[in-house]
A and B are shown apart, each in its own frame.
Chain A
Amino acid sequence: MRRSELIFERPLDLQATQPAEVRGVSRDQARLMVSSERGHAHTRFTELAHFLRPGDLVVVNDSATLPASLPAHHSDLGVFVVSMATDFGNGTWLLEPRWSTSQPGPLPITAGMAITIGDLPTRLIAQYPGLPRLWFAQVDGDVRAAMNRVGSPIRYGYMQESQALSTYQTVFAAVPGSAEMPSAAYPFTQRVVDSLRDNGVGIAAITLHTGVSSLEVETDVVEEHPLYPEPYHVTVKAARMVNTAKREGRRVIAIGTTVVRALETAWNGHEIEPSRGFTRVYIHPQRGVNVVDGLITGLHDPVTSHLAMLYTIAGQSTIREAYQEAVREGYLWHEFGDSHLILPADRRELPDIKWIEQTA
């Protein structure tokens, strides 16, 4: 697939610059676009249960967000910040040095350089191959403790102000480890969860700890864009729930691209195998998907690898059409923005409920 196939126009002002908490509304008031074979409908996230069926299995990511942005220092460079992307174990981290929250790198740093993160002595090991803004580093000391002392949630320039860590936790958050919120589940509230259960929708959980956001695809061939590995865990229980649903012909709906990646990693060609490891599986149309029948996700920026995953699940034309709708309807992008339910094979009439503004 060519890079040009991932390009679309997204007006810059269509982005959530504040979380629901600050806007004084419930998270589940986010708008929800539902894309199926019957077109695209527009509703609120509170109404999600109407678009799912009894027996559907929703799979969520239970990773909780860390205060992963830490102050850093180097004798020549002065003060900067690092986003601690991924804990590889034994003190080795993948991280992104930035001048500041709003100003990305690259910084003039070199392999072997000694820096301080929080108050922890750190040695830069090597750049990530093909992603020079990311570095492997060896940190001497307790990074989680440093995060708790001086860390804050990773925040990008479009966010108006810093927010409490709790703002970056989804209702499913249970296992700390993500550098950035697995944000597809941000609009979920307890009442939405209850409405799903009341309608006979099952919920299973996997864990995938997100790293830092990927940047635009720069390679002309989309499949050559490097993804970096992230830790994941598919438990025996989650594997059993997904396998049973597949065997009984019930739909498996992923909440977030992280869930798609974890499930496709654990797929052995016949079924989901309980497993734990690091994955950089890249879902693009050439590779295909084997497990998920649908996806709830936020709206993704142009020229990102996530779009290739959406194309894989629903086809390029459906997604392009949906994104034109989203722009026309003024949907908001980014982690605190609006939501998109993609059910490619769903041929049912979209529910005839008065709050739906059906447009296709």
Chain B
Amino acid sequence: MAKVAVITGASRGLGEVLAQFLAGQGYALVLTARHAEALEKVAHSLASYNIPVKTVVGDVADAAHRRAVVDAAQSLGDLSVLVNNASDLGVSPLLPLAEYPLETLERVFKINVVAPLALAQTALPALKANGGLVVNLSSDAAKGGYPGWGGYGLTKAALDLVSLTLANELRDAGVSVVSVDPGDMRTVMHQDAFPGEDITDRPLPDVTVPFWAWLFGQDRATVSGGRYAAQAESWEAANATV
């Protein structure tokens, strides 16, 4: 049976880079995003890798969609990697917490925290069976306390705790969980955070490729529970033996 990776938010930016990387490593892929056209385009761009790719269009906040994603993965093979990359920036331009619209905050929390956890829950039987790895995409906004980034940042701080707690809870079941801060990148989301500003000094999301090579090259149990910065100058596994 093929090993399968699920990537959310796979229609552009970092999700697209991850899809190419994992396709290159030989994973069969289930890609999901809300926009069908962009998602299909990414799926077609992977033809040269000669691996099975399924697309499932929908919103990760929707339980039926999440079920469909996991079912699609299991129809392809052994679900072994779940990348929770889909994420909602919240209001654009950014607003300080004192003025933050609370209904937006609830939506962002649902997409950035509840949905990744829910997808991990749905995928858990397969992840347990296959020594799976869950990768949750975080942000330095989770720690920085940057003015304007509170709404988004607090959801990523919560997601970091989801990652760490899940890693501790699932260690004995053989499931590994990591948090990854990809760093600033020239993506649509970053542009939305700075509408109208020039962000061309930020690197393209393929700047993270060396990190993915490192992360997916490690013994999963040794990285589990770690929070990693993809653009850092060095990477050390959280549980490495020295």
Task: List residues of A whose CB falls within 8 A of some B CB.
Answer: 87-92, 94, 110-114, 123-126, 128-130, 136-138, 228-229, 232-236, 265, 274-282
Contacts and interface: CB of A to CB of B under 8 A. Distances in A.
Interface stretch (B7-15, B65-73, B105-113, B230-238): B230-238
B208 to A, nearest CB: 8
Contacts of B49: 111-112, 123
Given A92-B217, A277-B240, A110 B233 contact: no
B242 A236 contact: yes
A278 B235 contact: yes
A128 B210 contact: yes
Contact of B218 (A89, A111, A113, A229): A89
Given A113-B48, A125-B20, A88 B26 contact: no
Interface residues of B, number: 31
Contacts of B50: 112, 114, 123
A344 B242 CA distance: 32
Interface in B11-61: 20-21, 23-26, 46-50
B48 A136 contact: no
B146 interface: no
A271 B242 CA distance: 16
A218 to B, nearest CB: 16
B167 to A, nearest CB: 18
B234 A265 contact: yes
B48 A111 contact: yes
A280 B242 contact: no
Given A90-B216, A124-B24, A276-B240, 18 more contacts: A88-B216, A89-B214, A89-B219, A90-B217, A92-B213, A92-B216, A110-B48, A114-B50, A125-B209, A125-B213, A126-B209, A129-B207, A129-B209, A136-B209, A229-B214, A234-B242, A274-B242, A275-B236
B219 to A, nearest CB: 8
B242 A136 contact: no
Contacts of A89: 214, 216-219
A278 B236 CA distance: 7
